[in-house]
Chains A and B, each alone.
Chain A
Amino acid sequence: MGGLLESTAREVLEFTTEAVFSERYARKNGLLQRADPRVKLLSLLTLVTVVVSLRNIYVILFFYTVPLVFAFLSHIRVSDFIKRVWFFIPAFTGLIAVPSIFMIPGRPVFTIPFTGWSASWEGLTWAVLFTLRVATAVSYAILFTMTTRWKDFVSALTSLRVPGAVITITTLAYRYIFLLAKLLLDSMHARRSRLAGDLGLVESWKEAGKHMGATFIKANSLGEEVYYAMLARGYSNETLRSEGLKIEKTDYALAVFTLILLALAVVTTEVFR
């Protein structure tokens, strides 16, 4: 169990480091990579808001296919994209969706032997709807992060007049997470190299607690060092002015497409009410 916990944590860390920081896809010359980050950000916010308010499963399924098409047009391997989206879904939605299958009253579908727990049709429908809605919203968010370079995102925030303090905190967190992920991975490997066999469940939880405490202390001093390294190279808590951002044809097309989707969501919500 301890080993499973450790390997899962390691995989999550490795995946996050690769997924968030590599900017592998953001540097390709695809459709969304060419779009202005401000337009992309506003479209993303609009679409996520639209998706979370959808109630009909077919409409949600339609909205789910949109990011897949965009991923393809942005030279992102669709299988990679799907994997990235569904990697986070079970962890985020499982806690809420699974119990609701048994808790929402309705027509029974099956019963778990010896427990008396009965899954209802209404519960199942709700769980599927909820999971699909989260997956669709996450798809839009991930599509944005995969096709936008961090510095462009910061430029977009600046030109959208997001308060400087918010941008500074976001920038520091982003830079710092790099190091923290690496630190966590290194200490996990160091721990593993000094461990013969697997720890029991209780022991592994105890060890994980100690590990978290130690990481917190290390993270604190590391965060300070990163801040010093930034200061030493001219950073002065100010956000840089955005340069070179220009609205072009692709951006107008993206904005119009977002509005069409918004209208479609409003119409279908009325129709399926």
Chain B
Amino acid sequence: MKVYELRNVGYRYPTGEWALRGVNIEVRKGETLAVIGPNGAGKTTLLKIMDALLLPTEGEVLFEGKPVTEETMTDKDFRKKVGFLFQSPDVMLFSATVLDDVAFGPIHIWGKAEGSKRALEALKFLGIEGLADRHPYNLSGGEKKKASIAAVLSTEPEVLLLDEPTRDLDLKNRNFVLDMIHRWKGEGRTVVVVTHDLRVIRLADRVYVMDGSVIFEGSPRELFLRPELIERANLDAPEIIKLFHALGIHEEVPMSVEEAAEILIKWKREQSTSKSSTLKEF
């Protein structure tokens, strides 16, 4: 089942400049989709269009088969189903306490009593109930990110739109976000993530490379087989992939260290077999 269908979508800024043109994307239920591309490629604009915060200048967006219109922007059912994690937690945290902030969405959807209950549950789920009464601006970067994740999760969305979720985080907090994405994937939620983080890309089922329009669609493995695309997306290829290219192994690309070890052992064996047969022939 298709959750999103973007047909020939284009978006022009009020300045007249085009952010996106001719974008055709499909998102299927339960899949994790990574959107990558250089800065200014229109990735965040794309997420905003998918969250009905912006309407496309041209083309059409369908959510669960129905067109996204101006009414979708304030449609409670849509807001219940789709959660948007903004790149900057500062933009998302605007209330006097973390609890008020997390409760903002659920209260608008379910009312005060149910909303506050769900907000507390979300804080407990993330293990940050101790931050409930804290002022959002007194939190560390990692805490702010967790609070904004709680704010998104408090409405229990089926679809998660994540804008650079691991940006500016230390290793521990990055791992936390990666675990969350892994978990959502396991729970069958649909995740669309804009990222520059290769570890996030590895978690995706499919990848779109964008630069004003879609220039590649395929699996992460297919992407890593094409260094020119990685370069165009402004990504630094993983060291292990650089090693494989240096060794002239172009047919296979590992997605983990274990996989790399397996391929290398096989490759070494093939190398020595071909060497001994050449010697025999000689």
Chain B window 192-209, contacts with chain A (Cβ cutoff 8 Å), 1 for yes, 0 for no: 000000000000000000
Contact B96 A231 (CB under 8 A): no
A222 to B80 CA separation, bound complex (whole angstroms): 25
State the interface size on chain A (CB cutoff 8 A).
29
Chain A interface residues (CB < 8 Å from chain B): 17, 21-23, 27, 149-151, 175-176, 178-179, 182, 222, 225-226, 228-237, 240, 243-244
B residues adjacent to A (C-beta < 8 A): 48, 51, 53, 73-74, 76, 79-80, 83-84, 86, 88, 90-92, 94-97, 100, 104-109, 111-113, 133, 135, 137, 151-152, 155
Q: Are A233 and B105 in contact (CB under 8 A)?
A: yes
- Shortest CB distance A178–B (Å): 6
With A23-B97, A234-B155 as contacts: A228 and B53 at CB distance below 8 Å: yes
Task: Please name the residue on chain B nearest to A26 by beta carbon.
Answer: B96
Q: Which residues of A are found within 8 Å of B135, using beta-carbon distances? A: 21-23
User: A150 to B37, alpha carbons, bound, how many Å?
Assistant: 41
Would you give the shortest CB distance from A239 to chain B, in whole angstroms?
A: 11
B88: A residues at CB distance < 8 A: 225
A151 contact from B90, B91, B100, Cβ within 8 A? B100
B96 is contacted by which of A149, A229, A237 (Cβ under 8 Å)? A149
Q: Name the B residues within 8 Å of A27 (CB-CB).
A: 133
CB nearest to A244 among chain B residues: B112
Chain B residue nearest in CB terms to A243: B112
B88 smallest CB distance to A (angstroms): 7
Do A229 and B91 touch across chains, with their CB atoms under 8 A apart? yes
Contact A234/B111 with A151-B100, A182-B137 known, Cβ cut-off 8 Å: no
Within 8 Å CB of A182, what residues of B? 90, 137
Asked if A179 and B90 sit within 8 Å, CB to CB, the answer is yes
Do A222 and B91 touch (CB < 8 A)? Answer: yes
Bound Cα distance A231, B74 (Å):
7
